[in-house]
Structures are given as C-alpha cells and as structure tokens.
Amino acid sequence: MHEQVTLLGPKAGPGETPRLSALPRDLLEQVRGRVRLLAGLLLIGFALDPAIFLIGWTIATLSGIPVRFGHVGFVLTDGAVALASVGVWWLAGEGRVPPSRLLTLGLVYEVAICFALAFTTYWQWTLDQGVIPPLTWVPAVIILFPLIMPGPPRRMLAAAVAAGLTAPLALLLLDLWGNVTPVAHDYVRSFVHSAFGVGFAYMGARVVYGLGRQVAVARELGSYRLEARLGKGGMGEVWRARHRMLRRPAAIKLIRPALDGRGVTDELQRRFEQEAQAIARLRSPHTVEVFDFGVADNGAFYYAMELLDGLDADVLIRRFGPLPAARAIYLLRQVCHSLTEAQACGLVHRDIKPANIFLCRYGEDHDFVKVLDFGLVKALNAGGQHAGAAASGLTAENAVQGTPAFIAPEQALGDAHVDSRADIYATGCVAYWLLTGQHVFTADTSMGILIHHARTPPTRPSERIDRPIPPALEGLIMQCLAKDPADRPQTARELSLRLAEAQCGEAWNEDRAREWWMTHQVV
C-alpha cells in the first residue's frame, strides 16, 4: 500500500445506541456535518429579518429620521432562533459530542424550529392579512430533516410526529390567548398538512437509513466491520475496521472482485494469500501482526492486521525534514530486526521503502517500527534460490517488481535470482532518505531511475545536505548501495551490528523518542 498512515479511530461513545451504531462509523460521523448544515441553513433564514431590522434601525438612528417598526417581537423571536441555531452549529462542530446525542439534539432542534415557525407564521399573518394562513413552513422542515440527517426510521418518525403537532398546538395557544380566532377547518388543515409532512419524512428516513445499512452490510467481512478507508494501492485497499464481538480495532487489507465480473485473477489471489501467509509466519515485534485471513461473501479476499498509531517514514521526512544520525540508526536497526527474521525464514521482502516503514506509539514505546506490506515477498529454498518457477523478478507482463526509487540493481535488471541482499540495498536507500530527505537517484521516468540504480554510482549523502554525517555510518550506507550484492553486508543481522558500531555521540533512546512525540503531537 502506498498510503498506509493508519490512525487509531475514536472508540464508540457511550451515547451511541445499538440501533444508530448499526451504521458505518464514517456515516455516523456524517451526522455531525449534516446537523451543522441544517443549523447553518436555518441560521441564514432566521437571521435575515433581524439583520434587516438592525440595518434599518441603525440608518434611522444615524440619520435622525423617525421610522416606525412593526411587530418587533417577531424580530426578537427570529433572533432567538438564530442564536439557538448558532449554538447547535457550534456543538455539532465539537468532536466530543457522540453522534447519537448529536442526533437527539438535532431532533429536539427540529421540533423547536417547527414550533417557532408555526407560532410566528400564524400570528404574524393574522396581524398583517387578517386571516389565518392556509399553510406554514412546518411540513417542509419536517420533510427536510430526515433527508439531510440520517437516523433510525422510528426515531425520525417520533420526531416528525412531535414536530407536526406543533402546528395545531401553536394555533391552539394563540386561540387561547386571544391572538387569533381559528375555526375547526383551520385545525383540520394544520393536522392534514403536518400528516403529509410526517408521511414523506418517514419514507425519506427509511430510504436514507436503508442505504446506510446496505453500506454497513457490504462492509462486513467475516467477524469484522469496515469503518473507513485508510489507503489504496496496487493490490487493493486498507480499511480501518473493528471486530464485531471483541470491539478490537484492526486494519483490513482486501482485494475486491473486478467490476466486470471476472473476479480476482489467480495471480493476484496467489500473491495476496502468499503475503498473508508470509506475515503470519513472522513473530518479530517489528513486523506488522496478522490476526485473520478469509474470503468475504462477495468474493473479496482480506486479512486483518493490527491497527497502528503513528505515521510512515515517507510522511515523517516530508513533514519534519531529515533525521539526525542517531535517530536514523535507531529506526534502521528495528527494520533490520524484522528483516533478520524474514531472512531466517527464507523470505525476501522486495519492497522495503519509507512508506512501508511505520513509526508508531506502541504501548509505552515510541518510535517503534513496524515493517508493512509483504505483497511482493518471495520465498527462497534451502539453497538460497527462489522456490517455484514463478519466482522471477518480473511479472507475466514483464513489469519489474518493486518501487523504482528503492529497488536493487539486480531487481532493476530483472535478475531471476534476487535474494535477501536486495532488501539490504533497499534499506540503504531508506537510510539515505532518512538522513537527506532525498532519493538516491531521480529521473524523469521510472525507467531512468532503474537505469541509474543499475549503472550510476551514488552520490555520498554528506554531499547532499549541509550537516555532517558520521563517516562510519556514511561508509556503511555506501556499502549497502553497492551494485554487486557480494559487496554489501550479507545479512540484516550483520547490518544491524554494524549500525550499532557506527553510532557516535548521544544515542537515540526511548526518552528522546517520547519527548519528540509529545512535542510534535503527530496524531
């Protein structure tokens, strides 16, 4: 995956009801934006009269021209509703209010708005026209709310009924206070209009909520429910998910069947299964952990892995700049820990790059590295050669496997006998990136980069930046970038030991890492 910045999502709030939480988390979060949208629209509508009144009053006061304003009480009512709309809009923007409580607030707001509309419309129209208006905006508002703000149909129906009753209630109160003189026909008409609004609102709520439930069902993979997509790459997608029973967060990597009905190709299925099986074999704490693997009802292949809290090395350097040598060594040795076990199991990662090196807060540890994405992993037999006839560095379409900026010369040349020393070369490219913020080679095309890796001697990293790099560390990086695999460190274990020997000055440690994370507040 090329976009693997996975963050721990917020836990379900205590105010979420089981019925409402049946929707996907990202749709639940849309409630927040929808309530803000409704509050903003109604704020504009109700603030119009008070704004015109204030402008007129200001002009009259400054010019000394006496102006008679009628029905100031209605203007004050509109102003009060506008202020309430501001309050709802602000609360909807606060991330601390769970979606369920926000939905309840929105429904109470709907009832209050409908009452204010019915009360002021009946009264003002009677004062101005001498008759009770045949229709108010109450049915329109009742229909509008469930179409914009998703919620369980029964809950939306209850709010719609309450909002619909505000029209005859307002008419009754105005009659009791002597402000209007309605007849039976006026009451019947207010009930009928509200009933139509309630009916359409309930149908709209069922459609909107049903679509959300369909999305939720489509996102269920075995025991996991997909919540939000985190990234998309060549082999599929990565989603934040949650186990439906254990409530444990996870990252789900999946590949879906093709839209043309051909399904998943045998090669892609084989690679996907191989990746899941390869990671499941590894126990290094610096290799991402796999929980589960399976096939969904719709034919999508997926596996569940731990959800990490942090950012990858690509984003790290782009956001914060090159690292000091001590920190680079600290991170690289953890990468070597993962690769050492992979090599001991006869596996070659073949796609070591900054985007696949994830820095996270892992329990009480900071700057804890996890190596991701074994989608291009290859198995070696006991003799160090690739197992199987399909172990070539090329696909059936003769496309070089790997990422051009971090690919070993033998991979770039399509060598059929790429071994674990290709990962050593890629780790050298990653070290170069961590220290300089630049790639070893650049070119206008991918082929140009591959040619550089195969033939061009690399520039020493100290020549690319203004600050010095420890000579022992720079020499080791240049050795990792040797064109001939025999001239590189032969194993990840050897590379890790030599990185430790290259350390000079104050070493990076957990205390310094914790201080950096607390200072920068990455997530």
Strands 301-305 and 249-255: antiparallel
Separation between Cα atoms, residue 230 and residue 238, nearest integer Å:
5
Q: Per-residue pLDDT averaged across 11-16, rounded? A: 42
Classified as helix, coil or strand, 366 is: strand
Please answer whether residues 89 and 36 qualify as being in contact, where contact means their C-beta atoms are separated by less than 8 angstroms: yes
pLDDT tens figures, 87-110: 888 888 777 777 778 888 888 988
**Could you give the CA distance from residue 30 to residue 36 in angstroms, rounded to a whole number?**
10
- Express each pLDDT in 154-206 by its tens digit: 889 999 999 999 999 999 998 898 888 888 988 999 999 999 999 999 998 88
| In the predicted structure, residue 388 carries a pLDDT above the cut 70 | no
What pLDDT, on the 0 to 100 scale, is given for residue 2? 39
Three-state secondary structure string covering 312-343: EHHHHHHHHCCCCHHHHHHHHHHHHHHHHHHH
Output the pLDDT for position 503: 82
**Which tens digit of pLDDT belongs to each residue from 461-514?**
999 898 888 999 999 999 999 999 999 999 999 999 999 988 877 888 889 989
The whole-number pLDDT of residue 391 equals 37
Q: For 265-297, what is each residue's pLDDT tens digit?
A: 666 667 667 766 777 777 888 988 877 777 766
Q: Between vectors from CA 192 to CA 188 and to CA 195, what angle results, nearest 5°? A: 140
Contact yes or no for 113/140 (Cβ under 8 A): no
Residue 382 binned pLDDT confidence (cut-offs 50, 70, 90): very low
Q: What is the pLDDT of residue 308?
A: 82
CA-atom Rg of the chain in angstroms? 32
pLDDT of residue 89: 86
Catalytic residue among 351, 367, 373, 423: 351
HSE-up of residue 492 (Cα within 13 Å, Cβ side): 25
| DSSP-derived secondary structure letter, 93 | H
d(CA 154, CA 105): 16
3-state secondary structure 389-441: CCCCCECCCCCECCCHHHCCHHHHCCCCCCCCHHHHHHHHHHHHHHHHCCCCC
Question: How many of the other CB atoms lie within 10 Å of CB of 96?
Answer: 8
Q: How far apart are CA 132 and CA 134, in angstroms?
A: 6
How high is the pLDDT of residue 460?
94
* Residue among 127, 244, 504, 281 nearest 290 (CA): 281
Secondary structure element (H or E) that encloses residue 49, with its range: helix 25-63
133 residue type, one letter: P
Report the residue count for the chain: 523
- pTM attached to this predicted model: 0.60
What does the DSSP 8-state code read for residue 460? P
Residue 427 in this model has a pLDDT that exceeds 90: yes
CA angle 443/458/371 to nearest 5° reads 80
How does the average pLDDT of the chain come out, rounded?
79
Amino acid 198: pLDDT: 93
- Classify 400 as helix, strand or coil: strand
% of the chain beyond a pLDDT of 70: 78
Q: Name residue, tokens 């059936």.
A: 396
- The answer to whether 111 and 159 have CB atoms below 8 angstroms apart is yes
Range list of H helices, 64-181: 72-93, 99-129, 138-148, 153-176
Query: Does the annotation mark 128 as catalytic?
Result: no
What is the distance between the alpha carbons of residues 234 and 336, in angstroms, rounded to a whole number? 25
Q: What is the pLDDT of residue 431?
A: 93
